Amino acid sequence: MFTTRRGLLVGAAILAAAGCTETPAQIITPNADLTAALRTARSLARASESLGYSDIANDHSAHVETIEKILLPNVLPQEDAEGADPSDPAALADAETAGSTEAAESCLATDTDYALLLGEIAACRAAHAAVLA
Amino acid sequence: MTVVDTGLAAEFAAIYAYSEATVHLDGEPRELAESLESEHRDRRDALLDYYDAHGLESTPAEPGYSLERVTEADEVEALLLDVETRVATTWRAGLASDDPDEREICLNMYTDSAKALARWKIAIGQSYADPWPGRPV
């Protein structure tokens, strides 16, 4: 079938385009900033809910829902919690502040269109910390 | 007009609104309103320092602003909620700037605005929760 070099190259291109390769197709490159924001949002949602701050948990859940939609099909799977969740409002405020700083740094560093989203998440977490303090 | 110009204009307008309206409040809402007015003045000063540091010329405040006449506490509370929401919305828009310095100062101002908005909502008995502070609805 591929008796010439040109024929071989064309054939390889056709096979690759058809998905007949060993490497799985990667439709979207995972975004490290959004992946980090998702991991933190899930953690903060869990922590705030466990302390009875349902309003705050709902904010984080909205972030989770939005980021998951953007990251499809490369959504970070649910992970077991690393370490202990914040056990009181002061610890939750500290976690919110740390999450805000993380999102703010991503907002300033990114060259993608996600700067606005990351900035919104940073501001929201900072507002939570302010009212918890 | 840059996004920082627009933000500075919003801060000038907020200071004017607070200076006109806070006198009609009492108790804790008044104390918080005075504190928030002071924060707006601090942000204005920080912005003017930003202009100086970058060799830029700022646009001065207007001599006066069109403001609905409010005298009752609930009217003042609603007015200041509108002011804080508009300020947050203005700074939020600056996050899309491609200029790193502009984006950074807009992010800092926006974050402070979101905190102020949440505190004012609590003071007037509203839920402070909002996943997207200042996002136009």
Testing the interface with A: which of B130, B135, B137 to mutate, by most A Cβ within 10 A? B130
Out of A1-10, B33-42, B105-114, pick the least confident: A1-10
Q: Which residues of B touch A (CB under 8 A)?
A: 88, 92, 95-96, 100, 103-104, 107, 110-111, 113-115, 117-119, 122, 127-135
The rounded distance, in Å, linking the Cα atoms of B91 and A103 is 17
Chain B contact set for A68 (CB, 8 A): none
Which whole number is the average pLDDT over A1-15? 55
Position A7 scores a pLDDT of: 59
* Inter-chain CB proximity B129 and A55 less than 8 Å: yes
pLDDT at B47 over 80: yes
Chain B residues within an 8 Å CB radius of A55: 127-129
User: What predicted TM-score, i.e. pTM, was given to this entire model?
Assistant: 0.87
ipTM of the complex: 0.95
Q: How many percent of chain A have pLDDT more than 90?
A: 63
DSSP three-state, residue A85: coil
Contact A119, B116 (CB under 8 A): no
Q: How far apart are CA A45 and CA B25, in angstroms?
A: 36
Which positions in chain B touch A100 (Cβ < 8 Å)?
111
- Mean pLDDT for all residues in chain A: 85
**Cβ separation A127–B114 shorter than 8 A:** yes
Q: Do A116 and B132 touch (CB under 8 A)?
A: no
**Residue A13 in this model has a pLDDT that exceeds 60:** no
Taking the CA of residue B47 and the nearest CA in chain A, the distance in Å comes to 18
Q: Which residues contact B47 (CB under 8 A, 6 or more apart)?
A: B4, B7, B8, B11, B58, B105, B109
Read off φ and ψ for residue A98, nearest 5 degrees.
-65, -40
pLDDT of residue A86: 84
* A93 CB within 8 Å of a chain B CB: no
Give the pLDDT confidence of A76-95 residue by residue, as tens digits: 777 766 667 788 999 999 99
Please name each of the domains of chain B with its CATH number: 3-123 (1.20.1260.10)
For tokens 């006109």, the residue is B20
Neighbours of A59 (CB within 10 A): 26
Tokens of B90: 């203005």
For CA atoms A21, A22, A27, A30, give the dihedral sign: negative
